Amino acid sequence: MMRKKLKQNKDYQQMENNYWLTAPETYKTLFGLVEKYSPSGSEADAVNWLVSRMAGLGYTKSYIDGGGNAIGVMGDGPRQLVLLGHIDTVPGEIPFSVENDILYGRGSVDAKGPLSCFVDSVAQLGPVPDWQIVVIACVDEECDGMGARFVLPHFSPELVIVGEPSRWDRIALGYKGCAWSSIQISSDVTHGASEEATACEIASELWGKIRTWCQEYNQSRSKIFDQIMFSLTNWYSGKDGFSQWARLVVSARIPPGFMPEDFYAVLESLAPDAIISHSAFPTPAYRGEKNSPLVRAFLPAIRSNGGQPAFVYKTGTADLNLVAPAWNCPGLAYGPGDSTLDHTPNEHLYLPEFQKSKAILIDVLRRLTKK
C-alpha cells in the first residue's frame, strides 16, 4: 500500500509533536513513541518520554538504566518475566499521520508498535502476586545491540518475549545470526597496459569465489533459514602512486550450527594473503523450542482471539539472539506489524492489528502468571 508523501511544514510538525495528547487512550503510548523520532544514537527524548509514560500508567517503578534503556517494572515478586523491545529506529524520518486506521511513521512497525503493545498490556494486567514483569526498551538494536548487552547481567528472567513484528497471529521462534568482515587486497601499482591483475580485479575475483562457496553450501539445504546469505555491502579502492588497494565489506546472515568463527574461517581460506578484520559483535543464530511455556500460552491465546497460529523463522537478527541464550530461558518474538515494511519509506501499522495483538498478549500474560 503506497500513499502520497505528506509535506512536512511547520504547522504539520506542531501537530505531530502533540498529537498523542488528544489520541484515544488505547493509542497514546503508540502515537507518543512513533512521534518521537529516535534513530540509533538519538534515543534520549523517546526514552525520557516512555519512562514518564510508564510512571503515569501505574508501573511500580520506571527508570533509565546505565545503558540508556527505558525500564518499567510491574510488581515486586520473586519470579521474573521480561518483555524486551527496542526504542531506536533506522534513520529516515517519516511524517507522522493516521489515515483510515493506518498509522504511518518511522518505527511504527520496527519496533515501536510491538514495544507499545508490551507497555500497554502490562499496564492493563497490573501487578500479579509472586511476579515481577519487566518491560525493557533497548537502545542501539539497529547497530551493535549495546542496550541489550547492557541489561544481560541485571536481570534473571524465567521467560523472555522480544518485541518484533511478526503479525498478530504468528510467533517468531528463530532468527539468523550475523557477522561481517572487511577484506583488503593490496599490491604494487602496475602500468595500465600490464597483464598483471589490479587490486580491484583480484577483489572482484575473490567476491566471485565467496558467492560460489555460498551457493555450494546452500545447495543441499532447501530451507532459507538453514542457508547462509552473503552480501557485499561496501567496496572501497584507491592508490597512492606506489601501491593500490581494494577493500570489500562482506556481511553474512548465518543459520543455526554455523558460528561467526566459521564464517571468518571461510574468508581466510579463500583470501589467505588479504588483510581481514572482523566485526566486534558477531551474533550466532537462535532457534527456540516449539514446546515451551511461552508457546503453550501463545497458541491458545491466538486461537481464542480468532486466529490460526503459525511459527516463523526470520532471516534477520534480533535482540532475541542475545538475551535468550544469555539468560538460559525460553524465548520468542511477538508483535504486530508486517516485517516486510521494516526500514522502508512506507512503514505503517494497521491499528486494528495493534489492538488484536494487545488482547492476545494480555491473554498470554494471564496464562503465564495464572492471574
Which tens digit of pLDDT belongs to each residue from 207-235? Answer: 999 999 999 999 999 999 999 999 999 99
> What homologous superfamily is domain 10-176+285-369 in, according to CATH?
Zn peptidases (3.40.630.10)
Catalytic sites, residue numbers: 88, 141
What is d(CA 42, CA 40) in angstroms, rounded to the nearest whole number?
6
pTM of the full structure:
0.89
Q: What is the pLDDT of residue 141?
A: 92
CB 230 within 8 A of CB 211: yes
Round to whole Å and give the CA distance between 149 and 140: 10
> Which class is domain 177-278?
alpha beta
Q: Are strands 229-239 and 131-138 parallel, antiparallel or unpaired?
A: unpaired
Q: Please provide the size of the chain in residues.
A: 371
Domain boundary assignment for the chain: 10-176+285-369, 177-278
pLDDT surpassing 80 at residue 189: no
Residue 15: per-residue pLDDT: 43
pLDDT of 10 higher than 80: no
Q: Is the pLDDT assigned to residue 292 strictly greater than 90?
A: yes
Q: Helix-strand-coil percent breakdown of the chain, rounded to 5?
A: 35, 25, 35
Q: Is the pLDDT of residue 7 over 60?
A: no
134 neighbors 155 (Cβ within 8 angstroms): yes
Backbone dihedral region for residue 193 (phi beyond 0: left; psi -120 to 50: alpha; all else: beta) = alpha
Distance CA 190, CA 86 (A): 50
Instruction: Give per-residue burial for 53-69: e unless 16+ CB within 10 Å, then b.
Output: bbeebebbebebbebbb
3-state secondary structure of 86: strand
Is the pLDDT score of 288 beyond 90?
A: yes
Q: Could you tell me the end-to-end alpha-carbon distance of the chain, in angstroms, rounded to an integer?
A: 40
Decide if pLDDT at 1 tops 50. no
Residue 16: pLDDT band (50, 70, 90) is: very low
Whose grid coordinates read 536481570? Answer: 155
In this structure, what is the dihedral angle of CA atoms 260, 264, 269, 273, given to the nearest 10 degrees?
A: 180
pLDDT value at position 24?
A: 81
348 burial type by CB count under 10 A (0-12 exposed, 13-18 middle, 19+ buried) = buried
Within 10 angstroms of residue 92's Cβ, the number of other Cβ atoms is 12
In Å, how far from its chain's centre is CA 84?
11
- CA 203, chain centre distance (Å): 32
Indicate the SS3 state at residue 295: helix
- The predicted pLDDT at position 191 comes to 58
Run of H or E including 94: none
**Mean pLDDT of all residues in the chain?**
91
pLDDT range class, residue 192, cuts 50, 70, 90: low
pLDDT tens for 107-150 read 999 999 999 999 999 999 999 999 999 999 999 999 888 999 99
Percent of the residues in the chain that have a pLDDT greater than 90, as a whole number: 82
Indicate whether 4 pLDDT > 90: no
Residues of the chain above pLDDT 70, percent: 93
What pLDDT is attached to residue 193?
61
- pLDDT tops 50 at residue 11: no
**Dihedral-angle region of residue 335 (phi above 0 means left; psi in -120 to 50 means alpha; beta otherwise):** left
